[in-house]
Structure 1
Amino acid sequence: MQVVLLSAEYPPMEGGVGDYTRRLALTLHKEGLEVAVLTSAGAGGLPGDGLEVHPRVRDWGWSCLPAVLRFLRRSRPEVVHLQYQTGAYRMHPAIHFLPEALHRLDPPPALVVTMHDLRLPYLFPKAGRLRSWVVLHLLRRAAAVVVTNGADRGRLRGDGRPARDLLEALPPGKLPTPVALIPLGSSLPATPPGDDRSAWRARLGLHPEEALLGHFGLLHPSKGADLLVEALAGLRRAGRPARLLIVGGGSGSTDPGNVPFARNLREKIASEGLEEAVLWRGPCPAEEAAALLRACDLVVLPYRDGASFRRSSLVAALTLGCPVVTTQPQDPAEVALEEGRPALVDGENAALVPRDDQEALLAAIAALLDAPERRRRLGEAAGRLGQAFRWEEVGRRTAALYRSVVQCT
């Protein structure tokens, strides 16, 4: 089967969608599929991957559709799999009209859309309900839609949950397209080579009595790194020898709003006198990032919008078996892998605190730093949950979805 993965974001660009697309391509290739990636100009992939990567699209405005069609006329895939996150496409409406473009091909390939989030494109001032309309226009004309958590599946099926990112909730039956829940795969290896925790802590210059908190991923306001810096300051004011390791910590390639947030975060660290207490390890190989996170006493992910399995940083920390402190989901289905039961449970495989509650965050971190046995149990249970995010399973389920949509077209 021939498949084209279409993504505005791809390595060496920074960003979770690009990393996901690369790892999906590698996994599908191992499954025996013929996979090509069509992406932005300049995003040529990583050396040694052995993947067919075509950085052909110079702009994701209206000119992107003719560029995509020119490539597809030559490659003639059976499936086009769009990796959708509106920020990656510069909030422009063009990509939402991909189905019409595909129907100019003979035969048209089946379109699968993975919704990495349900946020809306900007379009223009006061676009109002038109912002929801263009997203639904894309999804109604796809052969299948993939989501990464139970809440997004529920919203698209119209089960009555309020839509956090869409302007209006979908009534039942408004989206006839089949919706499949396929979890994210982890962006980091579960068992990194050279995983010697003591050696990594020594390399970071930690003293034996110092606690190390970890944060992973791009610096975006919703991820709450500033809240974690405030918690670090509170720990140190209370006389606790603690440091913070920020792994990744870049601004990404597709969201310009990250840049001022990252600048303000560094200014906050300086104003609190924490320059020596905060360690930065920017973009680094996945194996190194994994080993660094495993060297932490706690990984703290205080998302302002709550924990969700659409968050690749959370998925990675769980897969690594790290004890995690994060925020309560807005909807229990955000952290569900099957109907009816959340998989992320407070006190069982993570510590969940109220969103935007600085005192609760600080108290949870302090309590766990005083309870090494509890941290160990949380980490072991997180690792068991993390097995659900293995790429082998993601690839198997994705390939099965492709086969089903091709048979139906």
Structure 2
Amino acid sequence: MTATRPDRSPRVLLVSHHYPPHLGGIENVVRQEAAHLARRGADVTVLTSGPRPGAPGTGRAGERADGERAGGERADGDAVRVVRVPAWHGVEERAGIPFPVLAPALLPAAVRWARWADVVHVHDCLYMTSWAAGLAAALTRTPHVVTQHVAVVDHPSPFVGLVQRAVYAAAGRRLLSRAGRVVVVNDGVGAFAVGHGARRGAVRHVPNGVDTEFFRPAASAGERERVRDRYRLPRDRVLVLFVGRLVRKKGWELLLAAADPAYELVFAGDGDGSALGGRSGVHGLGALPPAALAELYRACDVFALPSTAEGFPLSVQEAMASGLPVVTSDDPGYAPYGLDRDRVALLPREVPVLRDTLSSLARDRARRERMAAYSRRYAAAALAWEGHTDALLRLYEDVRREHGRTAPRARTGGPRGAAYRGSGPR
């Protein structure tokens, strides 16, 4: 049921290159933001990519297959409107880089929905959806907020690194310099944003949230065993879980190199997992939907993510909410969060250190239990989505006031024929 919206609650256009059912960190953040904002009374539309043009069941941009004008599908209990523009996903299919190339309908859709909105909230500067939304916000004089999730991501291809830097230097600088507020999750990304044009006074540190009811510890040993049986995992071994795409920045190859007889490794994430096949004590499960992933956290004993340049990744937050001891990289992005380093293992990205730490944890159940209890307590106290939503609503009110928008626009419904109503990303 859709929440009742107060008179002063905003119309929010959230913009993301992907949205569930596509799996990934940014899309999960946007979905949670959309759902929690709607519960607080905001009128929320998500603008994102959909299937490629001409895919089965699609019509022209702005139409359903039967020709009826569509204002977007409804999601999250009918509280959130999702507008999907047809896109080509070949870059992700061929190179593993989630960069949808959207149809020309993107810009008209962005302009129509920006005109409808009180605030445009763009997620990351790297994508076509972001560029179109930033231009649309400027054309319609609608204030916009940017959440910058990361800085330049380390990639084995020098060309990909060059493209990232060029995009951030051009489109990224325009988006960040014009933003009423720039949301970051750590000081490193904040410095990156300022270095690319964001006003220092506009940058705000807002931690991502985690659903501490959905991600929870196992209720019993029996529940853990049932989940292990479902995924054909051994009942009698210490299981170290990795969750993330199998790409270089996530450090999955470091974890694989740190394999040891004291524990078995479980990898959940998409990408080329051919190196996992046939190895004793290594289980590659591929990409899993959120419900299955939540189960898997409950079935394992330790979470390990030796990633780089990620700050405080969502998967670490989910693992903590699930009551798992966490072993991860000693990233400067953790500094603002005040983690107890005796209860969270923050390590250099070195295979021997990673192996020694995991082996020690595998043999020390009491230490695992202390770390697990801390993880759950910390997540429940510091990472709830309600606090994140409070912060966003305050930011929206601030930028509306600065732009002279102290009252929301007239409640006349969404624009006609604004965008394609698709069945979800490929």
Using structure 1 for the length normalisation, give the TM-score. 0.76
User: Counterparts of 2:368 and 2:112 in 1: how far apart (Å)?
Assistant: 54
Q: 2:311 aligns with which of 299, 308, 314?
A: 308
- Matched with 1:136 is 173
In the TM superposition, residue 393 of structure 1 has moved relative to its aligned partner by: 1.3
In the TM superposition, residue 296 of structure 1 has moved relative to its aligned partner by: 1.1
- Matched with 1:406 is 400
Q: 1:324 aligns with which of 312, 323, 326?
A: 326
Asked if structure 1 preserves the Cα contact closer than 8 Å seen for 2:122 and 2:133, the reply is no
Asked if structure 1 preserves the Cα contact closer than 8 Å seen for 2:14 and 2:34, the reply is yes
User: Counterparts of 1:55 and 1:118 in 2: how far apart (Å)?
Assistant: 26
Q: Secondary structure at the match of 2:258?
A: helix
Q: Secondary structure at the match of 1:346?
A: coil
Asked if structure 1 preserves the Cα contact closer than 8 Å seen for 2:321 and 2:375, the reply is yes
Identity of aligned residues (%): 28
Q: Determine whether 1:52 maps to 2:81.
A: yes
Asked if structure 1 preserves the Cα contact closer than 8 Å seen for 2:17 and 2:130, the reply is no
Structure 2 counterpart of 1:77, which letter?
A
Alignment length, in residue pairs? 353
Structure 2 counterpart of 1:109, which letter?
T
Asked if structure 1 preserves the Cα contact closer than 8 Å seen for 2:74 and 2:81, the reply is no
Asked if structure 2 preserves the Cα contact closer than 8 Å seen for 1:307 and 1:326, the reply is no
User: Counterparts of 1:404 and 1:301 in 2: how far apart (Å)?
Assistant: 36
User: Counterparts of 1:125 and 1:366 in 2: how far apart (Å)?
Assistant: 39
Q: Taking structure 1 as reference, are residues 101 and 85 closer, same or farther at Cα in structure 2, changes over 3 Å only?
A: closer
Structure 2 counterpart of 1:18, which letter?
E
Q: For residues 21-47 of structure 1, what are the alpha-carbon distances to aligned partners after superposition, in whole Å with 9 as ceiling and x for unaligned?
A: 111100101111111111112398786
Q: For residues 134-165 of structure 1, what are the alpha-carbon distances to aligned partners after superposition, in whole Å with 9 as ceiling and x for unaligned?
A: 322211111111111233234445xxxxxxxx
Instruction: Show the 5 A alignment for 1:274-313.
Output: 274=279, 277-303=281-307, 305=308, 308-309=311-312, 311-313=313-315
The structure, 1 or 2, with the larger RCO (C-alpha pairs under 8 Å, 6+ apart) is 2
User: Counterparts of 2:362 and 2:73 in 1: how far apart (Å)?
Assistant: 40
In the TM superposition, residue 9 of structure 1 has moved relative to its aligned partner by: 0.8
- Matched with 1:226 is 253
Q: For residues 353-382 of structure 1, what are the alpha-carbon distances to aligned partners after superposition, in whole Å with 9 as ceiling and x for unaligned?
A: 211x11111101001111111111111112
Q: 1:269 aligns with which of 276, 280, 294?
A: 276
- Matched with 2:57 is none
Q: For residues 34-81 of structure 1, what are the alpha-carbon distances to aligned partners after superposition, in whole Å with 9 as ceiling and x for unaligned?
A: 1111111239878664221111354448763333113434xx110111
RMSD (CA atoms): 3.2
User: Counterparts of 2:159 and 2:28 in 1: how far apart (Å)?
Assistant: 24
Q: Determine whether 1:69 maps to 2:145.
A: no
User: Counterparts of 1:122 and 1:97 in 2: how far apart (Å)?
Assistant: 24
In the TM superposition, residue 198 of structure 1 has moved relative to its aligned partner by: 3.3
Using structure 2 for the length normalisation, give the TM-score. 0.74
Instruction: Show the 5 A alignment for 1:112-261.
Output: 112-119=145-152, 131-157=168-194, 169=195, 175-176=199-200, 178-186=202-210, 189-191=214-216, 196-232=223-259, 235-236=260-261, 240=262, 242-247=263-268, 249-251=269-271
Asked if structure 2 preserves the Cα contact closer than 8 Å seen for 1:60 and 1:95, the reply is no
Structure 1 counterpart of 2:169, which letter?
S
Q: For residues 195-244 of structure 1, what are the alpha-carbon distances to aligned partners after superposition, in whole Å with 9 as ceiling and x for unaligned?
A: 62233234444445312111112222111112222222xx13xxx3x322
Q: Taking structure 1 as reference, are residues 179 and 48 closer, same or farther at Cα in structure 2, changes over 3 Å only?
A: closer
Asked if structure 2 preserves the Cα contact closer than 8 Å seen for 1:326 and 1:352, the reply is yes
In the TM superposition, residue 104 of structure 1 has moved relative to its aligned partner by: 2.3
